[in-house]
Amino acid sequence: MKRRADALLAFAAISCVAAFVAGGCGSPDADGPAVALRWENLTVTPATGPVTHVLVRNLRSSTYRGTIRVVCPASWKLNRTSASVTIRPHQTVRLPFAIERGTNAESNSYPVWIEAVNGGGPVRRTQTIVCASAPYFKPQIDGKLDDWGDAIPATFVTGGKKTVIHTYWSRQNLSLLVAVEEAALHPPGAQPAAAGADAVQIAISPRNAKTPSSPGAKARRYEFLLAAAGKQPGGKCFALIVPGQKLSLGQKARPLAGLELAGSQVAVVRKGGVTYYECSIPLKA
């Protein structure tokens, strides 16, 4: 890839990344699809160059044997385009595909296609992935936004409104710039509670962490809330939940006072119809 990223984001990043989706995987038999497929966002590290992975989960109670085929953008060349798999019941395999040659898109948006084939018929899925690496840098958190030119954007559209996320990593801090299209900014406390407030909530976890389903189970991720505070570019980062705390804690209505994250820096500014949340969170690799 032509775009260089000096450091891999050490946490499998932000809660916008989707989990497995079985529905819509395509061509299921009467019992549903045999496998669930997901193409992970690609990463770029100095040691390996650009690499992407495909996750394949066996949804059946019997061993799955088949072939996984992938199709990437025409400007890419992968080290391989298929792989044979043998997957035990209800297990997941993670297949690496190195990108030997490629051209980055200005939008950081890449359409991809996966197919799993065996005697029971094909299962297919199409996705759009992004480059999810974070260059090594620690920006100034001052609301000026002029330190983010080398960060790699990831864009999401919800309800016709665009959100763009940029990330940096400096071994001691994870830095984020989140740009949200919205008609107005209503910080917490600026209007009656029933009317709601504007903020950005993010979740960060190790790649292999699994979220338990029981409210009494312990969290394996961080959840933070970024919100405007006082005059622009004032802002705060609140730690809603950290690993080891019960998941039920994050489901309770609590005052934000006392949840401020020590050592964090936040700046929130409005420019045009966009709110920019700039934040540095102390997290070590």
- Burial class from Cβ neighbours inside 10 Å (0-12, 13-18, 19+) for residue 230 reads exposed
Looking up residue 78, the CATH number of its domain turns out to be: 2.60.40.10
195 φ, ψ (degrees, to nearest 5): -80, -10
Dihedral of alpha carbons 68, 69, 71, 75, sign: positive
170/76 same-domain check: no
Number of domains in the chain: 2
| Residue 148 confidence class, pLDDT cut points 50, 70, 90 | very high
The tens digit of pLDDT for each residue in 58-116 reads 999 999 999 999 999 999 999 999 999 999 999 999 999 999 998 888 888 999 999 99
Least confident window among 2-6, 84-88, 197-201: 2-6
Beta bridge partners of 124: 115
Q: What angle do CA 77, 19, 57 make, to 5 degrees?
A: 75
On whether residue 10 sits in a domain, the answer given is no
End-to-end Cα spacing for the chain: 25
Q: What does pTM read for this prediction?
A: 0.77
CB–CB of 239/224 below 8 Å? yes
Residue 215 has pLDDT above 90, yes or no: no
The answer on 119 and 221 residing in a single domain is no
Residue 259 lies inside a defined structural domain of this protein: yes
Do 155 and 109 meet the contact criterion of CB atoms below 8 Å apart? Answer: yes
One domain, residues 69 and 187: no
Domain co-membership, 122 together with 158 = no
Give domain status of residue 18, yes or no: no
pLDDT band (50, 70, 90) for residue 22:
very low
Does residue 161 sit in the same domain as residue 119? no
CB 131 within 8 A of CB 152: yes
Model pLDDT, residue 4 = 29
Domain-located, residue 3 = no
39 inside domain: yes
pLDDT surpassing 50 at residue 1: no
Q: Is the dihedral of CA 39, 40, 44, 45 positive or negative?
A: negative
Inside any domain, residue 91: yes
Q: Do 98 and 186 fall within a single domain?
A: no
**Residue 285: what pLDDT?**
60
Q: Alpha-carbon distance 69 to 234, whole Å?
A: 49
Residues 119 and 164 in one domain: no
- Identify whether residues 173 and 124 lie together within a single domain: no
Domain boundary among 94, 112, 129: 129
> Is residue 227 over pLDDT 60?
yes
Q: Is residue 206 part of a domain?
A: yes
The DSSP annotation for 11-45 comes to S---TTS-----TTSS--BTTB-SEEEEEPPBEEE
- 178, part of any domain: yes
Q: What's the pLDDT score for residue 284? A: 74
Nearest to 223 by CA among 248, 249, 204: 204
Shared domain for 174 and 255, answered yes or no, is: yes
Whether the CB-CB separation of 236 and 262 falls below 8 Å is answered with no
Do 104 and 169 belong together in one domain? no
Residues 78 and 192 placed together within one structural domain of the fold: no
Identify the domain containing residue 115 by its residue range. Answer: 35-129
Q: Are residues 118 and 217 in the same domain?
A: no
DSSP letter for each residue of 63-93:
-EEEEEEEE--TT-EES-SEEEEEE-TT-EE
Average pLDDT across the chain, whole number:
84
Residue 2: pLDDT band by 50, 70, 90 thresholds? very low
Among residues 61, 95, 129, the one where a domain terminates is: 129
Max mean pLDDT range (94-98, 218-222, 245-249, 281-285)? 94-98
Average pLDDT over residues 7-32: 39
What are the CA-CA distances from residue 39 to residues 145, 155, 189, 271 (Å)?
31, 17, 41, 35
Predicted pLDDT of residue 34: 95
**pLDDT of 6 above 80:** no
